[in-house]
Amino acid sequence: MMDLNDPELEFSDLIYAYQSWVMAIINDEKLESEEKLLTDEITEDALNAMRFLPGEVTNAIETSLARVYDVDADELSEILFPEED
């Protein structure tokens, strides 16, 4: 689990945490993978990372991963944040 008080924590660690969460959700929801990747720890780390990542960064991560996995960006947003409809 990511320690937000760790002085060695880098911006790239926050990006990695958010990216891991988005990829796990794409895997679990869109790729029909047998193995589920999303864990409570991944989700918690991503939510913590989101507190420190600018919206432009999270949007860039979502957009680039949507392209890589050929997922519609709007659909991805609905999967990531279903309560925001």
In the chain, how many domains are there? 1
Burial code (b: 16+ CB inside 10 Å, e: under 16) for 17-31 equals: bbbbbbbbbbbebbe
In terms of residue numbers, what domain contains 52? 11-22+35-84
The answer to whether residues 27 and 33 touch, using CB atoms and an 8 Å cutoff, is yes
Q: What is the pLDDT of residue 84?
A: 58
Residue ranges in the chain whose pLDDT is less than 70: 84-85
Q: Looking at the domain assignment, is residue 2 inside a domain? A: no
Query: Does residue 73 lie within any of the structural domains?
Result: yes
Enter the pTM of the model: 0.90
Does residue 27 lie within any of the structural domains?
no
- pLDDT attached to residue 32: 80
User: Tell me, what's the pLDDT at 48?
Assistant: 95
- Does a structural domain hold residue 3? no
46 in a structural domain: yes
In a domain, 29, yes or no: no
Q: Is residue 61 part of a domain?
A: yes
80, 62 in Cβ contact below 8 A?
yes
Q: Is residue 1 part of a domain?
A: no
